[in-house]
Amino acid sequence: MKTVNQLKSAEIILDNETVETVEIKNPCQMWKSLKSWQDKYGQGVRVIVRDINGSPYKDFTVKVLKNGKTYMVNAVTSTNRVAAAKAKKAAAEALAKAEEKKARKRAYDKARRERIKAAKAQTTEA
C-alpha cells in the first residue's frame, strides 16, 4: 500500500532543545520509531514530525497517566482524531441546541397567535 503523506523529518526535543533530527519518509517509519525515542529519551521528550512542506504533521508529547502508564499525545489538531471527534460532537450539540431553541420559539409564537385569536373572538362575541 502506498502512503499518501510524504514526510521530511522528525525533531526530537528534550528540555526545549533539539537533541536530534531524524529523516523520515513515511508515517509507517514514524510509528515504528516513536516508542524507541520515548524509551531512549524518557518522559520529557517531545517529537515534532514535519511533512515535505515543513509544516507540522504530528506533535507528540509524553503524558503519564494516574496508573503510571505513558502514552503520547498528538497536539496537531488537523491530524488528531480525538480533537476532531470532540469538535464534531460539539458542533452537533450546538446545532441541536439551536434547533431546539427555534422549535420552542415556533411553539410559543403559535400559542401566542392562538391566544390572540381566542381573545379577539371573545370580544366580538360579547
For 37-43, what is the mean pLDDT? 84
In angstroms and rounded to an integer, the radius of gyration of the C-alpha atoms of the chain is: 28
Question: Is 123 within the bounds of a domain?
Answer: yes
Note the pLDDT of residue 60. Answer: 87
Beta strands in 27-122 (DSSP E): 45-51, 56-64, 70-74
Note the pLDDT of residue 106. Answer: 97
Question: Is 84 within the bounds of a domain?
Answer: no
Please name which of 83, 85, 8, 81 lies closest in space to residue 48, comparing C-alpha atoms. 8
- Going 28 to 34 to 40 to 45, the CA torsion angle's sign is positive
Residues 70 and 11 placed together within one structural domain of the fold: yes
Residues 94 and 74 placed together within one structural domain of the fold: no
Q: Is the per-residue pLDDT at 4 higher than 90?
A: no
Residues 67 and 19 placed together within one structural domain of the fold: yes
Question: Is 2 within the bounds of a domain?
Answer: no
Note the pLDDT of residue 82. Answer: 79
Question: Is 85 within the bounds of a domain?
Answer: no
Which range of 13-17, 28-32, 79-83, 87-91 scores highest in mean pLDDT? It is: 87-91
Helix-then-strand count for the chain, H and E: 2, 5
Question: Is 45 within the bounds of a domain?
Answer: yes
User: Which amino acid appears at position 25 of this protein?
Assistant: K
Count of the separate structural domains present in the chain: 2
Residues 21 and 75 placed together within one structural domain of the fold: yes
90 vs 73, more confident: 90
Find the range with the poorest average confidence among 41-55, 65-79, 101-115: 65-79
Domain limits for position 46: 7-79
Question: Is 39 within the bounds of a domain?
Answer: yes
Note the pLDDT of residue 2. Answer: 57
pTM for the complete prediction?
Answer: 0.58
